[in-house]
Structure 1
């Protein structure tokens, strides 16, 4: 008792330097005391040190990863950001929630967690399926903005080993990835629960329950006799014992405040420290090589350096574990310096040029969290669309991380399986132009380039330009081998690649082969371009890859 009194006295005297959890004090800079240690190494927790980072070869060579963006928000099967939208009176998700579960004052998101059982989840089957589709790395959601940890978390009582499925989901995914030889990654989103959950502080403005508070401030004392007895939703899940941010009632304001500016209520030191401890433990316990952050730059940037500390820790840990740097940290909306420190991630969009440093696009064939309506209305991306995104991204020195939405029970539906299988069939024939390739001197040619849409905020230019077609080409190379991806089948009997014209800085081409077809193609290289006589496409579709040998410079 005396030791705890001393710790509490110190914490009160030095606010922001200590974080109390179960009677243990932790200093601000990462000395874990009895729980482990910040891994020391060449990377220090500052931007100048992180600039020494070089993207690992495994990531540069992999090109294609698949993501399981799966958690309790998939249980209602009503799309992304459900745990926020269900508290927005009059929204689709609010109406759906009231009809399916009841009013959010009586059945909140904590209760959605309770009914989520993930009873048909088979991680080894799913990861093996994704490997067959051509994925070289696999990423699993470790927590979302809903603040629920999907692993055995010391610092977050609201986690999947204690509540909901009562399973260590990250452990299951990590084991499956290792068994299938895929590099393992995790995505971490929980830094924003502080402001993201502010809708849970609201109440209806009209109707029979007007003025009755939602459950965003329900405390431990309110759980007596209920299923969540002993747990504290307010402190540990919703984190809503704080003043609302400016313009909080404007549902779009969260996007303008994503960088912890524009009037957002600052998160407390204890909240930030808890997130830090959770994330360090996640890295130490499950050894991911990749950590994806859904943040502007890094978690809590620029109000503190928690994200920088986590990045340095991951890099040093992979060096310690593997004898070389294998760690990848992703962030969004990076400046020139920050792009040297981590991998730039573009959400639902692509760069419009070859980037000098490897980067990543993350996108989804549907909604980030499973939405049954997309299945019912046949609204998933087609395999062709995914393949075109992959080819375009790789030609510009990027990787594609593709989410396949998972139902609440842990399965994917038959239409998703069909898309993944079609991607796999294409990769079996054409992946040599993808894996371990590098950009050529230009990324491509064709009419779609002229209509390419600029990036907006995190990305979000996907599908805004002209669709890729038969006169659009993308290029990759390996040494003197060039791969030209034709993104549609032309109406005539020949294809023309203008960038490969004689005298256009291109050497004499020796052979042209269409991957998946028998024999070499007849061709003619003139001042107008490389004209290729086309064989019958047979079963080839979606994107057609010419393997071109010669003095390509």
Structure 2
């Protein structure tokens, strides 16, 4: 997550003119005609054969699969060794940066990073209470239709038995195949399985560690717990750092490998390609997320193009040509939107987008932060439900991270959030799953939304939802319309988009999901008027009227 370090408490660009945001944190889209200088060697992990070639033009053949359009809601375990200190996101970078609160937290808990660096935090991470079967079942019970696990973060530790990264979760830390465990649990619940890969940026992201322990060598490990491991395989800092590399926020403007940032070399790009291809070939994920503009290492290298072709071809091969995988990219231009699925980080566009897309967000910080728990700052079930309705009405999916503690458990307040979502979905899921956008996404005071910025980041910047705001979804056969009201109206609801003069729809009947009795309504020329319910359903974070047309 490229901007999570900006503040402690909580924590693409679309080239359609109507949705072009003002960029503030990163550069804009990287064009497809850029020329990579590092061409990766794919001989160790050959690209799967098939209709997709590692070119942007070939990737334009891609179509988002129906199963993903039907799913609408996924849950993510953005979990790794940075959760061990329970001090939030980007810990493995910020612990090396004087002035960042996590630097002081590290000094207080572990001491000088030069003596106790992030490699040593990894050693502390044991994941001794991790129960993937229980957690994935819990997520499915909440209405999640796919599950994501983090395969590596910018901290560069692979969370599987990686063939190409000696620093992985089976050799250090918990000494467990984390991805293998998550994959098995997802399969047991019948959920498509996704992995997120963030390690492309370890090269520059870890540069502040050069002031501490990131220049250690294999020989320095003699007699240490990490004897036999080369710290350079973890930190990847055997290079001259970027100018002003100790500027904590400077990396954001260089996220697209510009602005004078040090450029990854051949070995680094080859290793990233091999690690990611190994992950794809070994676990056969249905979804693949990159925390990068367009594709990882683009335009420095063609590694991302090779991975994309391999991933798409592998999914078609594994499903006998019947099932496309889903590959996400950020800050996409018009050409790239044909090749990848647009992912918006902590944000939502203000209108229906023609291609299926996804928001990724979190109920707290991306990595577990005890302070958010203590302050009670998790998103409420109502906030999540309203976000989900808004996103789905605009042709999107919601991927929601539930922060996992270092020991592999989730806390009691997170359990309560999930319980609230599950109760609402049990009554109202038909308005979410397998639906499609209507001719309008909704109406009400909060419909204008807020501008997107860089990867997204407009969450919470628009007007708050009230019972005057509604969002529309419809069944795939267009015979049923769902009106999701963001609360319980206390007065008559006037839906101008359903007035007789606004469209061809004739309302045949209306029911309120989860409630007994009839619904009083009148379809006038200028609006459909629905009287407020005498008694709201039990779980009324958002109430849903089901309209037969």
Q: Which residue of 2 aligns with 1:388?
A: 386
2:165 equivalent in structure 1? 156
TM-score (norm 2): 0.91
Rounded to whole Å, the distance in 1 between the matches of 2:406 and 2:209 is 22
Counterpart Cα distance in 1 of 2:111 and 2:342: 41
Query: For residue 535 of structure 1, what is the aligned residue in structure 2?
Result: 534
Residue 127 of structure 2: which of 104, 118, 122 is its match?
118
Pick aligned residue for 1:275 from 272, 275, 280: 272
Aligned to 2:14: none
CA displacement at 1:540 relative to structure 2: 3.0
Matched, 1:253 2:255: no
1:518 equivalent among 516, 519, 530: 516
Shift of 1:527: 2.1
Question: Which blocks of at least 5 consecutive residues in structure 1 are unaligned?
Answer: 1-14, 18-27, 203-213
Does residue 31 (structure 1) correspond to residue 31 (structure 2)? The answer is: no
Aligned equivalents of 1:338, 1:223: Cα separation in 2: 45
Distance in 1 separating the partners of 2:167 and 2:128: 19
After superposition, give the CA deviation of every residue in 1:492-531 in whole Å (9 maximum; x if it has no partner).
3x32212111111132211011111124312100123111
Larger radius of gyration: 1
Runs of 4+ in structure 1 deviating by more than 6 angstroms, as ranges, are none
The 5 Å alignment of 1:363-442 reads 363-442=361-440
Write the distance in 1 (CA, Å) between the matches of 2:388 and 2:243. Answer: 40
Give structure 2 stretches of 5+ with no counterpart. 1-36
Tell me the SS of whatever aligns to 1:186. strand
C-alpha separation between the residues in 1 aligned to 2:367 and 2:103?
16
RMSD over aligned CA atoms reads 1.1
Report the Cα distance in structure 2 between the residues aligned to 1:83 and 1:520, rounded to whole angstroms: 57
Q: Aligned partners of 1:508, 1:144: CA distance in 2, in Å?
A: 51
Where does 1:313-324 land on structure 2 (aligned, <5 Å)? 313-323=310-320, 324=322
Query: What are the Cα deviations for residues 333-384 of structure 1, in whole angstroms up to 9, with x where unaligned?
Result: 0001101101000000001111100000000000000000001000000010
Residues 38, 301 of structure 2: 8 Å contact kept? no
Query: What residue is the counterpart of 1:194 in the other structure?
Result: 203
1:509–1:549 Cα contact (<8 Å) kept:
yes
Q: 1:480 is matched with which residue? A: 479
1:193–1:239 CA contact under 8 A, matched in 2: yes
Which stretch has the larger CA shift, 144-153 or 516-525? Answer: 516-525
Q: 1:330 aligns with which of 323, 328, 331?
A: 328
1:44-123 alignment runs, 5 A limit: 44-123=53-132
Q: TM-score, normalised by structure 1?
A: 0.91
Partner of 2:34: none
Determine the structure 2 residue equivalent to 1:7: none
**In the aligned structure 2, how far is the partner of 1:540 from the partner of 1:82?**
37
Q: Is the 8 A contact 1:315 1:325 kept in 2?
A: no
SS in 1 for 2:229: coil
Match of 1:218 among 208, 216, 219: 216
Whether the 8 Å contact between 2:38 and 2:302 is mirrored in structure 1 is: no
CA offsets 1:305-359 (integer angstroms, 9 cap, x no match): 1111111111101111102232111010000110110100000000111110000
Alpha-carbon displacement from aligned partner over 1:35-92 (angstroms, at most 9, x marks no partner) = x532100011101110010001111100000000000000000000000000001321
Query: SS in structure 1 opposite 2:252?
Result: helix
Higher relative contact order (CA 8 A, sep 6+): 2
Deviation at 1:468, TM superposition (A): 0.8
